[in-house]
């Protein structure tokens, strides 16, 4: 399984991707976010799905970028092009995968800003190659193991959140997923894009880098639970036999 989170706030984009790959009993590490950056052309892609399908679609897309980069003046055009590569791989491999008992599956998050975009953009691309744009009303999207981190994101993340706040909340959402699912784990790749900068910052977080934060967050949660008022429970416990 995979955990890839894309966040769009007013001040820019945050991308977080785990690196764990599980195939049967084998566990390995591989980068799940790819960054393409030239002058006034800045985009990243995060993917979730079968490794063979993901690698093939990314390889095809890199060829398209190399040949047609200057024709992509808006990010939706790049999202369309990646969607076309997903359909291409589907046409080539779906029948063989189905015959082998495997389900064709590739979801992607594309984010960034190209020269004629009025702002930074974030798209979710489905296995069929179509997409939806992430907006300010719900400023994040997750692919892969998406359930465990959503409550924290819904409660805490706002479009007006700073990049620092977005990264903090995004990491805690990953941490909730990591402790709940054994197929999501460190190292964690982080990509930050400040709006209108056309410049990404990339960083890899190792488990030992974040152990202190994870322990502190766990202690804060436990303390908060103990400090919650209990008077609302009185009508329930008053019914218990004495």
- Please give the Cα distance from 179 to 185 (Å, whole number): 9
Specify whether the CB–CB gap between 75 and 119 falls below 8 A. Answer: no
Domain ranges of the chain: 3-225
End-to-end CA distance of the chain: 49
Specify whether the CB–CB gap between 30 and 49 falls below 8 A. Answer: no
Token representation of residue 119: 């702002």
Give 90-113 pLDDT, tens digit per residue: 999 999 999 999 999 999 999 999
3-225: what CATH class? Answer: alpha beta
Q: Which residue has the higher pLDDT, 6 or 26?
A: 6
Give 68-96 pLDDT, tens digit per residue: 767 789 999 999 999 999 999 999 999 99
- Please give the Cα distance from 229 to 235 (Å, whole number): 14
Give 163-203 pLDDT, tens digit per residue: 999 999 999 999 999 999 988 999 999 999 999 999 999 99
pLDDT at 22 over 80: no
- Please give the Cα distance from 58 to 55 (Å, whole number): 5
């Amino acid at each position: 399984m995979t955990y890839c989170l894309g966040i769009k706030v007013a001040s820019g984009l945050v991308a977080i991707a785990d690196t764990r790959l599980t195939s049967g009993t084998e566990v390995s590490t591989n980068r799940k976010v790819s960054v393409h950056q030239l002058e006034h052309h800045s985009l990243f892609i995060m993917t979730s799905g079968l490794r063979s399908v993901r690698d093939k679609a990314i390889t095809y897309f890199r060829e398209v970028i190399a040949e047609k980069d200057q024709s992509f003046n808006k990010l939706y055009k790049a999202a369309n092009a990646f969607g076309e590569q997903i359909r291409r791989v589907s046409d080539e491999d779906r029948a063989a995968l189905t015959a082998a008992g495997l389900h064709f599956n590739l979801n992607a998050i594309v984010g960034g800003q190209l020269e004629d975009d009025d702002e930074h953009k974030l798209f979710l691309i489905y296995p069929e190659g179509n997409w939806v744009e992430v907006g300010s009303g719900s400023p994040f999207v997750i692919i892969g193991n998406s359930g465990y981190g959503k409550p924290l994101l819904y409660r805490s993340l706002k479009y007006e959140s700073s990049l620092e706040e977005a990264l903090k909340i995004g990491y805690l959402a990953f941490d909730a997923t990591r402790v709940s699912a054994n197929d999501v784990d460190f190292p964690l790749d982080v990509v930050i894009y400040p709006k209108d900068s056309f410049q990404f910052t990339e960083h890899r977080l190792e488990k030992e880098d974040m152990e202190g934060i994870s322990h502190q967050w766990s202690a804060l949660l436990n303390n908060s639970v103990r400090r919650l008022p209990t008077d609302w429970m009185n009508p329930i416990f008053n019914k218990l036999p004495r």
